[in-house]
Amino acid sequence: MPPASSRPVDNLDDDDYPAYTMGRAAEMLGTTPAFLRALGEHLLITPLRSEGGHRRYSRYQLRIAARARELVDQGTPIEAACRIVILEDQLEEARRINEQLRAQGRESQSHNSA
């Protein structure tokens, strides 16, 4: 019996697992494959490739693509939408790191005062 970590079901829980074909991803987002290709051209998302060379998208990538689509639907040019989403993602990561560092600082202070 294979180890539990290699079960196919585990991949369904992985936000980074490239589970969706381009056609399925476009359908889920209510857009076209050309839109997804454009997001790749503007370096917003880089789909993984199947052994046959087909683009495959993860849930994380679909969330990013959905945010870009919202901006484009509001009239933002695709280049600007991609840049906005990249900056939003970087800001969120910086906030997460900042919070971790603050938590470590609080933990360090509590150990020093004990």
In order of start, what are the domains of the chain with their CATH numbers?
15-112 (1.10.1660.10)
Strand 48-49 with 20-21, pairing: unpaired
Q: Considering only 4-13, 61-70, 73-82, 95-104, which range has the smallest mean pLDDT?
A: 4-13
Predicted confidence (pLDDT) at residue 39 exceeds the cutoff of 70: yes
Are 30 and 38 spatial neighbours (Cβ–Cβ below 8 Å)? Answer: no
User: Which two three-digit tokens encode residue 28?
Assistant: 């889920």
Looking at residue 17, the DSSP 8-state letter turns out to be S
Helix axes 22-29, 59-73, angle to 10 degrees: 50
Max mean pLDDT range (3-12, 39-48, 99-108): 39-48
Give the span between the Cα atoms of 88 and 7, in whole angstroms.
Answer: 34
Question: Residue for token digits 């495959």?
Answer: 56
What's the confidence (pLDDT) of residue 114? 62
Cα angle 78-35-60, degrees, rounded to a multiple of 5: 90
Predicted confidence (pLDDT) at residue 23 exceeds the cutoff of 90: yes
Over range 92-106, report the average pLDDT: 93
Q: What is the distance in angstroms between the CA of the first residue and the CA of the last residue of the chain? A: 49
